[in-house]
Amino acid sequence: MPTAHIYPFSRLVHAYPGNWEQLLASMDEGKQFAFSYYLPMREAVVRFCKGHGQNRDAIVREIARARDAGGVRGDRIARDNSEAFGVFVDNFYPKVSRLRRDLLRQQRTGCQLEGLTLEGGPHLEVTDVEGQKRHVFLHAANWSKKDLDAYLELLGVIIEACYGGDRSSLWALDLKKGKEIKWRSSPRVRKRCRDAAKLYVRLICTVENPEEE
């Protein structure tokens, strides 16, 4: 059964058919880039929450080590991760009551959408100060609104199927603007996600099992 991570797959949802070939070719590369660039920040957020808001300075110093592992872009990666972490601490951590689960490296494969197995999931699960369970998505990159809408819709599908929640528990945090992303599931976007999944499955199955002449 075809498998796709929701980050690169979400780029297909609103893409023109003529762009699919290029997007498909870059899907594996895009998945790895999206995971690794802001990984220091995501790990720092989990560590900060596990430590009940202690040792901020030590965590920032740890993030700075991304400079050494980032090659020519090391300074930029370290700066972007440090800034995003600071936004979380200042704007969102006060709304967190406790960390329930670190989901960064949990196996997150198995959600089915129109014959496509979706990979991916929220970054952590918390209880907010109002006592509600929230599935947190830490968003720090520059994405178009359409791509972000598709990603969040797919993430909502995964939360419902694999994390024991419903789509309303998705807590999308914009770490550039310092604001919660006001998102609601859209039947129109979900239909586009389903249609894209059907087409993707057909394409992959055709490539892997061509008809005999």
Task: Give tens-digit pLDDT for 119-140.
Answer: 999 999 999 999 999 999 999 9
How confident is residue 18, by pLDDT bands cut at 50, 70 and 90? confident
Q: Is the pLDDT of residue 50 over 60?
A: yes
Is the predicted pLDDT of residue 110 greater than 80, yes or no?
Answer: no
Q: In this prediction, what percent of the chain has a pLDDT beyond 70?
A: 89
The mean per-residue pLDDT over the stretch 174-196 comes to 95
- The residues, ordered by sequence, that sit 6+ positions from 28 with a Cβ below 8 Å of its Cβ are 8
Mean pLDDT of 160-187: 92
The pTM of the full predicted model, rounded to 2 decimals, is 0.89
Tell me the pLDDT band of 212, cut-offs 50, 70 and 90: very low
Q: Which position has the higher pLDDT, 73 or 193?
A: 193
Mean of pLDDT values over 72-97: 92
- Pairing status of strand 109-113 against strand 133-139: unpaired
Neighbouring residues of 23: CB distance < 8 A, sequence distance ≥ 6: 8, 11, 12, 15
More confident residue, 5 or 194: 194
pLDDT over threshold 70, residue 71: no
Domain range summary for the chain, segments of one domain joined by +: 3-208
Distance CA 206, CA 213 (A): 13
pLDDT tier, 36 (very low <50, low <70, confident <90, very high otherwise): confident
> Quick one: which of 150, 159, 122 has its CA closest to 138?
122
